[in-house]
Structure 1
Amino acid sequence: MLRSMYSGVSGMRGFQTKLDVIGNNIANVNTVGFKAGRVMFKDILSQTVSGVTAPTEGVTGGVNAKQIGLGVAAASIDTVHTPGSAVTTNVPTDVRIDGDGFFAVTASGDGAQETPFLTRAGNFTLDANNQLVNADGMFVLSSDGAPIILDAEIKSFSISSDGTIIGVNADGTTAATDFKIGVVKVNNPSGLEKIGGNLYQITANANPDGAAELSEAANAEAGTGSIVAGQLEMSNVELTAEFTEMIVAQRGFQANSRIITTSDEILQEVVNLKR
């Protein structure tokens, strides 16, 4: 069989993967804190028809190898952690990180979950027990790793740039609470694993030993970035770029399909030689 046919199949598979990633990006264009993905390709092992010949001084020159490529494969599917645009909501519990950190949330308020999940989506709310939670009811962790639970007598509150929650009592007096919203710095954000629900799971390739060390926001040494209250970070998907990449993927898919049909026509001519 012709090698070109298998190369065409690998190309169609690769561009189908690229279209899958583009489709997911476009579907999440309005998802809070979403980070777009991208597909990078690599060539598959080449078949060597003849090897390299070294030059012989004064006799012959060197000869390069003759190799035939065997197609393409997906080298990686990266998550692009560039910042998304900021949207002002004026909701006190909406926060975004102006920097490279992540919020930490946990499904268990009693500390049973050792490693928290990470998220850039700061659309938090207070539940009936004055606990700060995300849209799925997961607890938002403070800088010391504890769930944030406000006192019942607090009438309202605000959040400072370092994550400190400042409460306003019924008599109008203000006082800083014992809670600061925790932020986690990740050495390699692309090493995080997406698990759905705007959440990431830390891995050994994101931080050493898969650790998630909570710290305060606006920490210059930790590089966690400051917290901006009343705003949300939207998706970093750019529709113009995505639609351009969609056209490239579509044409690439069509071109590889032509390789298969052309190879099929050549094979048909070989079969017809007997007639």
Structure 2
Amino acid sequence: MLRSMYSGVSGMRGFQTKLDVIGNNIANVNTVGFKSGRVMFQDILSQTVSGASMAEADARGGKNAQQIGLGVTVASVDSLHTAGSAMTTNVPTDLRIDGDGFFAVRPAGMEDGFYLTRAGNFSVDAAGQLVTADGGLVLSSDGGIISLAGVNAYSIGKDGSIVGVNADGTTGDAIATIGVVQVQNPNGLEKMGANLYRSTVNSNLEELALGIPGDPETGSGTIVAGQLEMSNVDLTSEFTEMIVAQRGFQSNSRIITTSDEILQELVNLKR
């Protein structure tokens, strides 16, 4: 009887976690570059009541083991790194990666290294540097800071190259190339908030390296200027999963109340 109660408790905990993830997905439905999450369940170790027995020719048949499950637990909380929908803004510093890869940015206070992001809502600060909405520096393919100081006009190509545009409309000097980073296992990245990710031991076996957009050797995507990658949250799917999680939570709570009623009947046997 107690096994059913503990199984019900584990189910309620699991579906509560699922509701937490769904709530976060819906809250970020309009967050630029956001990747939705999902919860995967797995059963807990089962209790063996009786073991299996081997069949004997012309004597008896084999017998299967009898096992009782002990509930459910959360196996993983995955981030779905599928592409979000493209939104055209026509802002020159709004960038979208068409394909795989991440932008490399260095947040304020970080002296070395970089974080990753798919949010390309960049801007140019007073010093002429290409920065994120939080003031993080966007890095070039060689790991340097991208400076647009003194440029009257510029254009950004699919390969991430930033070139100046002369007053007569002709192409000017090359300024920099926006860097992109290819990640072997994006689901292994750690979320740092502010649309940023950090590499972990399970995202890449080797140290992350900056590359050029559209490089066929790395398979990184190309850059589309004037567009943003929006959240990949599908509200239809999220609300459907919310109903499933709600009913699952209610069903597991019913297991607990039913087990309690049966225990009460046992107590009432002795009056």
- Cα distance in 1 for residues equivalent to 2:201 and 2:189: 9
- Cα distance in 2 for residues equivalent to 1:36 and 1:176: 40
Q: Secondary structure of 1:25's match? A: helix
Amino acid of the residue matched to residue 149 of structure 1?
A: S
* Structure 1 residue 225, shift from structure 2 partner: 0.6
- Cα distance in 2 for residues equivalent to 1:265 and 1:98: 58
Superposition pairs of residues 95-244 of structure 1, within 5 angstroms: 95-107=95-107, 112-114=111-113, 116-152=114-150, 154-169=151-166, 172-209=169-206, 211-244=207-240
| Residues 1:50 and 2:47 aligned together | no
| Residues 1:271 and 2:267 aligned together | yes
Deviations 1:32-72 (A, max 9, x none): 00000000000000000001111112211111000000000
* Structure 1 residue 244, shift from structure 2 partner: 0.2
Long gaps (5+) in structure 2: none
Number of equivalenced pairs? 271
Deviations 1:158-197 (A, max 9, x none): 1000000121245654324231000000010000000100
- Cα distance in 2 for residues equivalent to 1:256 and 1:51: 29
Give the alignment's TM-score, normalised by structure 2.
Answer: 0.97
- Cα distance in 2 for residues equivalent to 1:55 and 1:146: 71
Relative to structure 2, which stretch is displaced further, 164-173 or 116-125?
164-173
* Structure 1 residue 155, shift from structure 2 partner: 0.6
* Structure 1 residue 149, shift from structure 2 partner: 0.9
| Residues 1:6 and 2:3 aligned together | no
- 4+ runs of 1 displaced by more than 3 Å? 169-173
- The alignment yields a C-alpha RMSD, in angstroms, of 1.3
- Cα distance in 2 for residues equivalent to 1:55 and 1:214: 62
Contact 2:164 2:175 (C-alpha < 8 Å) held by counterparts: no
- Cα distance in 2 for residues equivalent to 1:143 and 1:197: 22
Deviations 1:66-100 (A, max 9, x none): 00000000000000000000000000000000001
* Structure 1 residue 220, shift from structure 2 partner: 1.4
Give the alignment's TM-score, normalised by structure 1.
Answer: 0.96
Amino acid of the residue matched to residue 144 of structure 2?
A: A
Question: Quick one: percent identity of the two aligned structures?
Answer: 69
Amino acid of the residue matched to residue 124 of structure 2?
A: L
Long gaps (5+) in structure 1: none
Give 1:245's match in structure 2, choosing from 241, 245, 269. Answer: 241
Q: 2:36 corresponds to which residue? A: 36
- Cα distance in 1 for residues equivalent to 2:33 and 2:149: 29
Relative to structure 2, which stretch is displaced further, 175-184 or 2-11?
175-184
Amino acid of the residue matched to residue 268 of structure 2?
A: N
- Cα distance in 1 for residues equivalent to 2:54 and 2:63: 7
Amino acid of the residue matched to residue 37 of structure 1?
A: G
